[in-house]
């Protein structure tokens, strides 16, 4: 990994991944790809090149790959689960037509490709506890349908053309730099902002709903480590279960109250988000990732909560 294009560089994952790659990979050029209206600003803009990179514009992507001799593409353009239910065709366009554009360029020009999958790639008939790496994948959301197709298409390009595609199934990601938007797991980020501002938090997810979650530093490390891992050890590719913590809303609120005792919460369940959440795993089994490329999370619930609050207070 030397010359990298991050598509979606101003989003929740991209804004932090671009900066981490620029700091971590010696001598690398990391291009921040963006769409109009989401231009990089501040340190993201100043610390390296940026280019307009719309996944639906194959010619534009090919030009960037040529100009910077890109060898690795992080494809982080996505419409998250709750928004995808409102705009299913847009989600299909970005997630599927976007991916095929990227895979075709990768095939022609020899790039490796990381396109994240998600807990959303599972559905109501998947075993919810200790969800295995290889199991039933019949999601009922448009987001999930596209994520299963992303996994299959990425594996297809690897087996048929030898394109070096690899990825992980991200849990809900918790971070303080750039907020997510339109996801089912977003509540686990939003509650921190309410807690720090002293505002009441209205939770759209019901008590007792367990979902896998992960703190952003672990997620970024996973995205880099999988791409740097020894390919001869990979039995799987698209995509690996990775896990670090699983909780219901009440458990998260209790952990935040250990730091900010006056956090006020009430529930106003959003039926769309709730039905998506109910169809997802409670907790995934990530033993294949641990075995095949040495995945190991470093944050648990309390470690994440303390770190989140100390950064948001600043």
Contact (CB, 8 A) for 141 and 85 = yes
Which one, 74 or 143, has the nearer CB to ligand SER?
143
Which helix (H) or strand (E) is 288 found in, with range? helix 287-293
Instruction: Pick between residue 48 and residue 120 the one whose CB is nearest to ligand SER.
Output: 120
Q: Do 69 and 256 contact (CB within 8 A), yes or no?
A: no
* H or E segment to which residue 168 belongs: strand 168-170
Tokens at 283, concatenated: 């907790």
Q: In this structure, what DSSP letter does residue 131 have?
A: B
Q: How far is the CB of 170 from ligand SER (least distance, A)?
A: 5
State the minimum distance, in angstroms, from the CB of residue 89 to ligand SER: 17
Tell me which residue has its CB nearest to ligand SER.
183
Q: Do 74 and 17 touch, CB atoms closer than 8 A?
A: yes
Bridge-partner residues for 30, per DSSP?
Answer: 4
For the bound state, the minimum distance from the C-beta of residue 11 to ligand SER, rounded and expressed in Å, comes to: 12
In angstroms, give the least distance from the CB of 229 to ligand SER. 22
In terms of CB distance, is 48 or 183 closer to ligand SER?
183
Which are the catalytic amino acids? 143
Distance CA 268, CA 203 (A): 6
Question: By the criterion CB under 6 A, which residues form the site for ligand SER?
Answer: 80-81, 118-120, 143, 170, 172, 183-185
Q: Rounded to an integer, what distance in angstroms lies between the CA atom of residue 109 and that of residue 297?
A: 33
The least CB distance from residue 183 to ligand SER, in Å, is 3
Considering the complex, state which of residue 143 and residue 163 has its C-beta at the smaller distance from ligand SER.
143
The residue (of 150 and 163) whose beta carbon lies closer to ligand SER is 150
Give the up-direction half-sphere exposure of residue 65: CA atoms within 13 A in the CB hemisphere: 27
């Amino acid at each position: 990994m030397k010359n990298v294009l991050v598509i979606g560089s101003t989003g929740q994952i991209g804004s932090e991944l671009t900066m981490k790659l620029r700091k971590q990979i010696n001598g690398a050029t990391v291009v921040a790809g963006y769409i109009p209206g989401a231009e990089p600003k501040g340190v993201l803009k100043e610390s390296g090149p940026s280019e307009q990179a719309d996944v639906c514009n194959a010619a534009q992507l090919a030009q960037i790959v040529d100009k910077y001799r890109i060898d690795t593409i992080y494809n982080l353009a996505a419409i998250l689960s709750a928004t995808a239910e409102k705009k299913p065709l847009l989600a299909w366009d970005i997630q599927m037509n976007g991916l095929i554009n990227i895979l075709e360029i990768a095939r022609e020009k020899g790039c490796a490709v990381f396109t994240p999958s998600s807990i959303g790639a599972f559905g109501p008939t998947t075993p919810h506890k200790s969800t295995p790496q290889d199991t039933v994948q019949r999601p009922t959301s448009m987001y999930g349908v596209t994520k299963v197709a992303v996994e299959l298409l990425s594996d297809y390009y690897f087996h048929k053309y030898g394109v070096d595609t690899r990825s992980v199934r991200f849990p809900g990601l918790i971070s303080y730099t750039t907020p997510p938007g339109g996801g089912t797991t977003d509540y686990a980020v939003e509650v921190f902002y309410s807690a720090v501002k002293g505002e009441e938090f209205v939770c759209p997810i019901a008590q007792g709903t367990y979902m896998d979650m992960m703190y952003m530093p672990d997620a970024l490390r996973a995205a880099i480590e999988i791409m740097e891992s020894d390919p001869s050890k990979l039995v799987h590719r698209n995509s690996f279960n990775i896990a670090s913590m699983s909780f219901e809303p009440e458990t998260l609120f209790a952990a935040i109250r250990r730091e900010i005792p006056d956090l006020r919460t009430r529930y106003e369940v959003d039926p769309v988000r709730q039905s998506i959440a109910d169809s997802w795993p409670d907790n995934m089994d990530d033993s294949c990732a641990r075995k095949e490329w040495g995945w190991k999370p470093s944050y648990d619930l309390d470690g994440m909560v303390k770190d989140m609050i100390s950064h948001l207070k600043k």
